[in-house]
């Protein structure tokens, strides 16, 4: 009997709910829709404002990056102009006889020359023809430049030089020559010097000492 009562109660509740939904069907659907519309009224403007703010922020970041890039470029341009001005001033004040003066007192194979002189100071080697001959070759081993061509572009004068004959050097001499020619303009009276050509042929004298027969040509630039 209890089961029958419970079953009847469930049927009555279900019937009551169905009747309520039939009568209030429009109201039941209205409330969720109204809530969604209400949320949308606030959510859409918020999303629009957020998107607009992000777009403005991105634009501001791009503008800031552009300003930084332009500022860095301006600084770089200023530095380059200062260097160019300094470079041109040094070329203007360059000594036309710099190359001749630089090589005039240049001594090559100095280490070997000192060693030969030390040997010749020994009594048994003082008259050695081979040592004396080699020492004489070293003393005559100097740079002799010939001017081969000259050109002018506006105020810039460019002169080309070649060696009249090859020069024998060791590794210290070669390093010193490269440093003197290719380092930035220093001292102030130095013109711009460039290697147009450089070649060397190895010449072995002993197991621990090598020399090289070197040949090169140079370009000298000054402002008239």
Say what the pLDDT of residue 165 is.
92
Say what the pLDDT of residue 155 is.
77
Task: Count Cβ atoms below 10 Å from residue 160 Cβ, excluding itself.
Answer: 16
Give the start-to-end residue ranges of the domains of the chain.
1-92, 95-107+144-223
Phi then psi for residue 188, to 5 deg, are -60, -30
Say what the pLDDT of residue 4 is.
44
**Considering the domain 95-107+144-223, what is its CATH architecture?**
2-Layer Sandwich (3.30)
Say what the pLDDT of residue 156 is.
82
Say what the pLDDT of residue 3 is.
46
Residue-level pLDDT, tens digit, the chain, 224 residues: 544 445 555 565 556 555 555 555 445 455 565 556 656 565 666 666 666 666 766 766 776 677 677 677 767 766 556 565 556 666 667 788 888 888 888 889 999 999 999 999 998 888 899 999 999 999 999 999 999 998 888 778 899 999 999 999 999 999 999 988 887 655 667 888 899 999 999 987 777 789 999 999 999 988 77
Distance (Å, rounded) from C-alpha 124 to C-alpha 132?
A: 13
Structure tokens at 115: 């060693």
Say what the pLDDT of residue 106 is.
87
Are the CB atoms for 170 and 112 separated by under 8 Å? yes
Are the CB atoms for 153 and 92 separated by under 8 Å? no
Are the CB atoms for 192 and 91 separated by under 8 Å? yes
């Amino acid at each position: 009997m209890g089961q029958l009562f419970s079953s009847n109660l469930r049927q009555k509740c279900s019937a009551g709910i169905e009747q309520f939904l039939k009568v209030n069907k429009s109201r039941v659907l209205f409330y969720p829709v109204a809530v969604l519309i209400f949320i949308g009224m606030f959510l859409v403007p918020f999303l629009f404002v957020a998107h607009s703010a992000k777009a403005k922020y991105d634009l501001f970041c791009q503008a800031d990056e552009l300003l930084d890039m332009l500022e860095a470029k301006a600084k770089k341009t200023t530095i380059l102009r200062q260097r160019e001005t300094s470079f041109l001033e040094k070329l203007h004040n360059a000594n036309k006889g710099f190359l001749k003066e630089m090589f005039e007192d240049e001594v090559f194979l100095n280490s070997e020359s000192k060693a030969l002189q030390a040997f010749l100071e020994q009594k048994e080697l003082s008259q050695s023809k081979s040592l004396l001959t080699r020492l004489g070759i070293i003393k005559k081993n100097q740079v002799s430049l010939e001017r081969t061509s000259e050109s002018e572009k506006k105020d810039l004068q460019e002169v080309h030089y070649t060696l009249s004959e090859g020069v024998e050097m060791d590794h210290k001499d070669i390093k010193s020559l490269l440093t003197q020619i290719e380092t930035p303009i220093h001292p102030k009276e130095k013109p711009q010097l460039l290697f147009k050509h450089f070649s060397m042929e190895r010449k072995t004298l002993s197991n621990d000492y090598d020399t090289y027969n070197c040949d090169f040509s140079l370009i000298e630039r000054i402002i008239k």
